[in-house]
Each structure stands twice: as C-alpha cells, then as structure tokens.
Amino acid sequence: MTPEEKTIRQGRMHYCPVCGHSIAQRLIGEVMDELGIRTRTIGTAPVGCAVLLYDYFNCDIIECPHGRIPAVATGIKRMQPEKIVFTYGGDGDLLSIGLAETIHCANRGENITMFFINNAVYGMTGGQMAPTTLIGQKTITTPEGRIAATTGAPLRICEMLKTLVRPVYIERVAVHDAHHVERTRQAIRKAFLNQINGNGFSFVEILSMCPTYWRMGGKDACQFVGNEMMSYFPIEKFRDASE
C-alpha cells in the first residue's frame, strides 16, 4: 500500500440499494483519508452484513468470529498500540452474542474506535428479530410484531455505555438524510481523533436503513429511521470528554 491510495476501493458494494452500510463505510474511509491514517489502521470485521469489509477497505482488515470483534480489537491494540484500530459491527453482532465483549471493552476504556450499525434487524441471515428491533416491528421471527412481554424492550446501548466510567466518547447518529450524514461524518472523525490522541474508548452508533428486511421502499425506509427509530433511539451526544 502507498500513502496516496484511497481507503475505499473502487467498485460496487454488495449491499442492497438504500442500505446504510455503504454510506457508513464510505464515510469511515473518507475520514481515514482526511486524517492520513490509512496505512497504520487495522479494522476488525464481523460475521454479518459487513463480512466482506476487506473487499472495500484498502487497509488491513481482520475477520473475526461472530460477536468477538471487541475482543480481537483489544488484542491488536495492546500488541500494537501505535496502530489505529477500529471495529465495525451490527446489532446482531455487537448487542447479541457480542454484548459482553462490547460492554467489557468499553468498561476497560480500551483506546479503540467502535462503529455500531443499528438497523433493527438481522440483515445477513434473513431478517430475524435483533436486540434493537422496535416494539411492534414485524420480522420473520416476530410476524405479529415484537412484543415486550415475551422478548423484552429494544436495547439502547449508548444509554447503557453512558453508565460506565471509562468511555470518553459516545454518540448516536444516522445516515437517512444529508444533514445526518454530515453529522455522522463529524462523529466518525471525533472518534478517530480520540484514539489518535490517546484519549480512550470511543463508540459511535449509526442508525441505518434495511429496506429489504423491513419490506419497504427506499424512501419509506429513510422515513422509518427519521420517524420511528429516532423516536426510540434519539440522536444525541451522550459523552464527549474532550469537550
């Protein structure tokens, strides 16, 4: 790799039209280019919608077991503290099988950058209910809609992490319109800068569209994020120790 190369490789991504993953990944790559950190960055990819992350990022990417990207990222950063290490995972990955790893990584205050894509559904495996599926939301495993009495309420991970002492930066953003895309870019930048400056653990939750498994058109999916998801998952900067 040479310094002048771009982080995001040219070519078509495999994501469905209007899926927020492609937007989020391009923003991450563009910020890495702006900060000039590509050649010293290592990403960790999950088993999920982002399983092919290494096809799109022109930097080192390590494929991890499902739910274990925080643990793998911790090991990388401790062995090579001069590297910039980020994780990229979804709700099924980081909040289901990987919830313990996510919380303990944050509780230790590991100096890594974690990006969490919240699309309220298991996207890769067929549209099952995820920890973030909204009450009443229909999935293939909740055909009548999610019911709190039997499956609990959707997890609000930013609010949970806010109760911990060590995280330095926690923010929830979205990618359903231009205004929120720009705010997401700034959050990604802040999260990387915190790691560059040695401040500690940064967590950015990104509300994302999944029109395929929401059974919606693109416009309706974007409106679902802005109206339904943001009502339960408010866009907010929960902590910024650098301020």
88 and 53 Cβ atoms separated by less than 8 Å: yes
- pLDDT of 2 reads 57
Per-position pLDDT tens, the chain of length 243: 555 689 999 888 899 999 999 999 999 999 999 999 999 999 999 888 888 899 999 999 999 988 899 999 999 999 999 999 999 999 988 999 999 999 999 999 999 999 999 999 998 888 899 999 999 999 999 999 999 999 999 999 999 999 999 999 999 999 999 999 999 999 999 999 999 999 999 999 999 999 999 999 999 999 999 999 999 999 999 999 977
Residues, the chain = 243
- pLDDT of 49 reads 83
- pLDDT of 11 reads 86
189 and 169 Cβ atoms separated by less than 8 Å: no
- pLDDT of 125 reads 82
Residue with tokens 């930066």: 169
Residues 6+ apart with CB under 8 A from 79: none
Three-state DSSP class for residue 86? strand
The architecture that CATH gives domain 20-240 is 3-Layer(aba) Sandwich (3.40)
Ordered strands of the 84-90 beta sheet: 60-63, 41-45, 84-90, 113-118, 202-207, 169-174, 236-240
- pLDDT of 83 reads 98
- pLDDT of 242 reads 77
- Number of helices and strands in the chain (H, E): 11, 7
